[in-house]
Amino acid sequence: MKYFYPFLIFFALLLSACSSGKKAYERGDYYSAVLQSVDRLRQKPDHEKSQEALRLSYPLAVDFLESQASSTIASDAPFKWKQAIGYYSQINNLHDQIKTCPAALRVIKNPTSKFTEIADLKKKAAQESYEAGIQAMMKNSRSGAIQAYYLFKEANDFDPGIKDVVELQYRAEYDATLRIVYAQQVYRNEWVAVEPVINSLQLPFTKFYTPEQAESEKVPVHQTMLIEVLGYTEGRPATTKTETTHRDSVLVDRTIGGKKVKVYEKVSGKSTMYEKKASSQGQVRITIKERESDKQLMNSDFTGAGNWTGSWARCSGDNRAIPERIRKVCSQSEPDPDSDAMVQQARKDVLKKIETSLSSFYRL
């Protein structure tokens, strides 16, 4: 009987999938009901429940979206033209889904489209986004410039080349961009370079410059970043040992009464396992200040750690009593800590922490 339960669970899930379009229809979610029904008909073109759900839900979905678009256009809502395009786009999505599913097209023979209506609305939507972008630029703030950038981009997407929108979008991006000049100082040894991480950061409206780049491009500087490589040290390795006595019985040849026979002989041996561990640590300090006020915005230390472990063994007594895996280790010599591996670990560790922290610090 226990083998029957998985089948029942699978069957229940299958029934749920089969009737998903109908359930969405019963909830009044006509748009989802259409999409789910069409998706089911792609898999099973003759599925009756999905055909019925599609037949019932499609006209209701179109009627709802059309009424939403009409009431939005008649209102004074901000960005009403963009909202209306959104409703019409949903109708077009239903149209495309049905048109590309022969089984659904047999149920809804002439799906409604709003491609012409959207084309007419795009110029109006572009104009409302353009005007909102101008208003955002007038705030004379970084947040306003960021808002304006996206509004101008939206206007250009709706109506490419509208007025001077490309130039305005470029100006908004320039005003929205935070510019940071960074420099790295090294104390004791240069075990890590932070500059590649700084240059690889993909942060919107944030740009990093070396002092030479900022001077060459004559850009306004908003913040300064000092990166101090404070040093890197390796600790003394520590060794632990574990002694084990091994006992076993082995078959050997013996002569008894003039005859050679096989007998068990007890043997014993000893192994001493050694484990050596070493660790390292490097530190970087980052200080960020506002350029004009010299106000400190960040002063954080980042620590990178490296670790190394090596092992070997020594064996004595009868090797036949010692397991083969241990005998192999007994032939190895005492290893020295791998300094290169530890510094690479510490470097990777600290750079990841710096990248995460700066990405969070400059997140919009």
Q: What local confidence, expressed as pLDDT, does residue 5 receive?
A: 44
142, 198: one domain: no
CB 152 within 8 A of CB 130: yes
Tell me: do 204 and 328 sit in the same domain. Answer: yes
Q: What is the pLDDT along the chain (364 residues), one digit of tens a residue?
A: 444 444 444 444 444 444 558 999 999 999 999 999 999 999 999 999 999 999 999 999 999 999 999 999 999 999 999 999 999 999 999 999 999 999 999 999 999 999 999 999 999 999 999 999 999 999 999 999 999 999 999 999 999 988 899 999 999 999 999 999 999 998 878 899 999 999 999 999 999 999 999 999 999 999 999 999 999 999 999 999 999 999 999 888 888 877 888 888 999 999 999 999 999 999 999 999 999 999 999 999 999 999 999 999 999 999 999 999 998 899 899 999 999 999 999 999 999 999 999 999 999 8
Look at phi and psi of residue 145 and say left if phi exceeds 0, alpha if psi is from -120 to 50, else beta.
Answer: alpha
Q: Is there a single domain that holds both residue 212 and residue 163? A: no
Q: What is the CA radius of gyration of the chain?
A: 37
Q: pLDDT tens digits, residue range 161-194?
A: 888 999 999 999 999 999 999 999 988 788 999 9
12: domain range? 4-113
> Quick one: pLDDT at residue 20?
58
Structure token digits, residue 319: 């090797």
Residue with tokens 């014993």: 268
Note whether 230 and 363 are same-domain residues: yes
CB 234 within 8 A of CB 342: yes
Are residue 138 and residue 226 in the same domain, yes or no? no
Asked if 187 and 161 count as a contact pair (C-beta separation under 8 A), the reply is no
137 and 259 in a common domain: no
Q: Distance of alpha carbon 298 from its chain centroid, rounded?
A: 25
Dihedral sign of CA atoms 30, 32, 33, 38 in order: positive
- Rounded alpha-carbon distances, angstroms, from residue 322 to 82, 267, 268, 273, 363: 79, 9, 8, 12, 60
- For residue 324, is it within any domain? yes
Residues 169 and 264 in one domain: no
DSSP H or E run through 48 = helix 48-74
CATH number of the domain that 333 lies in?
3.30.160
pLDDT of 87: 98
Global confidence as pTM = 0.78
Residues 216 and 364 in one domain: yes
Structural domains in the chain (count): 3
On whether residue 14 sits in a domain, the answer given is yes
DSSP strands (E only) in the chain: 178-186, 206-209, 223-234, 238-256, 259-290, 296-317
Q: Give the bridge partners for 120, in sequence order.
A: none
Are 234 and 317 found together in one domain?
Answer: yes
**Coil/strand/helix, residue 100:** coil
Shared-domain flag, residues 196 and 312: yes
Assigned domain for 312 exists? yes
Strand partners, 311: 275
Dig out the tokens for 40 from the structure. 């089911």
Is residue 122 included in any domain, yes or no? Answer: no
pLDDT at 145: 98
